[in-house]
Amino acid sequence: MKQGIHPTNYRAVVFQDLNNGSMFLTRSTVATDETIKYQDGNEYPLVKVHISRSSHPFFTGEERIVDIEGRVDKFKARAEAAKAAREKLGNAAKKEAARQAAKTKKTETKTTSA
């Protein structure tokens, strides 16, 4: 293993899950300005996380959508926009094909009548 590449500033840090308010104390090097008084009465640096093992559906066995940042809504909006764009392109292709067919038919009628 290479020497000197691993951090040495580990300290006790509290991670708080924003979904259910659960907290756990562990060692980390993460930098934070917030602090919180933990269950043992001591004050520790606080890191807020959107999802952890206490709220993730895989670990809880619950099937629910946790969407704090609107990711599901953004995905649905992009999917709807893509569908509309595909329909628009399909309609444009149909119009162009109809124009070409009409142009070809017009050309054929001119050559057969001449």
For 104, residues 6+ apart whose C-beta sits below 8 A from its C-beta are: none
At residue 65, the pLDDT reads 61
Entry pTM: 0.50
Q: Per-residue confidence at 30, pLDDT binned at 50, 70, 90?
A: very high
- 46 and 100 belong to one structural domain: no
- 28 and 63 belong to one structural domain: yes
* Residues 53-100 pLDDT 10s: 777 766 666 666 656 667 778 888 999 999 999 999 999 999 998 898
- 40 and 54 belong to one structural domain: yes
At residue 61, the pLDDT reads 67
At residue 74, the pLDDT reads 85
Q: What whole-number distance in Å separates Cα of residue 51 and Cα of residue 66?
A: 8
Distance from the first to the final alpha carbon of the chain: 88
At residue 24, the pLDDT reads 92
| Out of 9-18, 33-42, 47-56, least confident range | 47-56
Q: What whole-number distance in Å separates Cα of residue 20 and Cα of residue 37?
A: 18
What SS3 class is residue 24? strand
At residue 8, the pLDDT reads 86
> Mean of the pLDDT values across residues 3-32?
90
Domain boundary among 31, 51, 67: 67
- 29 and 52 belong to one structural domain: yes
